Amino acid sequence: MGSRKSYMFPERYNLTNLQRVFSNPTLLRRELGRITSRVVFPINNEIFERRHGDGIDIMSQDWDNLVILDACRYDHFLEQNTLRGSLRPVLSKGAHSWEFMRNNFAGKSLYDTVYVTGNPHTPKLPDNTFHAIDITHNPSEPEKTIQMALDAHEKYPDKRLIIHIMSPHAPHLGKTAKKLRERNEELNTSKTGNSSGQNIWKSTIEGQVTREELRQAYQESVDIALEHAETLVNELDGKSVITSDHGEMLGERVFPLTHRQYAHPHNLYTRELRFVPWFEVEQDSETRREVVSEPPTAFNRPDKETVDNRLEALGYKS
C-alpha cells in the first residue's frame, strides 16, 4: 500500500498570522508579492531572454564617450530629449546597475577606457578592469560628475571615456521631488518622530505620494540629467553616445491582479527595465579620438561604510 504524499505549508501560514492579515491587509500584499517574486518572476525572466536575447555589449560599440544616465527609461528619453542625433532602443544586459556592470565589464581588461562614475556598486568590480576609475563622492550632484569627467578627459586624452551619471535615479532632482521630500519629512515626523524622509517608492506604495506625483518627479529628473549630458557632450571631442544601464518601473503591473512595481527590482525583467535608449549624438566634426591601451592605474576603493552610506542614499539599504 503506497504512502500518501503530504504537502507542507511554510510555518508562517498559521492561524495567528491569518488573524494578523485580517487586522493588517498590507501583510497579505507582501506575501503575494513574495510568492510572485519567487515563483512567477523567474519564469517570466527566462521567457523574456529567450524572446529578446541577453543584451547589447556596450564595449564593442563605436564611441569615444559613453554617457550613462542611471535608470533612464527609453520612453521618457524619446519624449524629452532635445539633442540632435539618432535614437534607437537597445536591450541592456541588466535590469539593475550591478547586473549591468557585471555583464558588461567584469572579467575584461578595458585598458583603453576610463570610467568616471557616481554609482556605488562600482567597487564590486575586480581590480584592473579599466585603465582608471574615478568615483565621485557626490553621486546625487550630477554637476560634480560632469566636472570629474572633463578633468579625466584632460588627464587621459587618449582614452575612451565612460561617464555614469546617477540621475534620473532616485533621489530625484527638481522642484516636485523637493516638495515631496519636504512633505514626507513632516509625515514621518508626525507618525514616528523620525525626521528622515522615507524613499519615494515606499511613500507611493503607502499612498502618501500619488503615481502622478511620482511620474512628475521622475520626468523632471530626466530633464535635469539630459541638461547635464548636453553640457558634457558639447565639451568633449570625438563620438558621443548617451544610454542607460537600466530603466525604471513607475507603477506598472507586470501581470494581471498583481501589485504594482516600482524602481528596478533585482529579480524582474520587463521592457521598461531592460530596453534603454542608445542615442548617437550628431557631431559638428568628424574628428575622432586616437585611443591607446595602457596598463591600469591604482584604484582607490572607498571603504565599506562609505559604500553602504551611498547605497542607502539611493534607496538600496534601510
Q: What is the pLDDT of residue 307?
A: 64
Is the pLDDT reported for residue 152 higher than 90? yes
**Among positive and negative, which fits the CA dihedral 168, 30, 269, 211?**
negative
Residue 9's pLDDT band, with cuts at 50, 70 and 90, is very low
Q: What is the pTM of this model?
A: 0.85
- Match 565621485 to its residue by C-alpha cell: 136
Q: What is the mean pLDDT of residues 95-120?
A: 97
Question: Is the per-residue pLDDT at 191 higher than 70?
Answer: no
Radius of gyration of the chain from its Cα atoms, rounded to whole angstroms: 22
pLDDT digits (tens, 9 = 90+) for 162-174: 999 999 999 999 9
What is the distance, to the nearest Å, from the Cα of residue 120 to the centroid of all Cα atoms in its chain?
Answer: 11
* 47-70 average pLDDT score: 98
Given a contact cutoff of 8 angstroms between Cβ atoms, the answer to whether 125 and 302 are in contact is no
Least confident of 45-54, 178-187, 204-213: 178-187
Looking at the predicted structure, is the pLDDT value of residue 24 above 70? Answer: no
Of the pLDDT bands very low, low, confident and very high (cuts 50, 70, 90), residue 313 is low
Instruction: Check residue 154 and give its pLDDT.
Output: 98
More confident residue, 192 or 310: 310
pLDDT digits (tens, 9 = 90+) for 123-148: 999 989 999 999 987 778 999 999 99
Q: Is the Cα torsion angle 154, 156, 157, 162 positive or negative in sign?
A: negative
Q: Give the closest residue to 148 by CA, choosing from 160, 164, 169, 127.
A: 164
> Grid coordinates in use for 204?
507611493
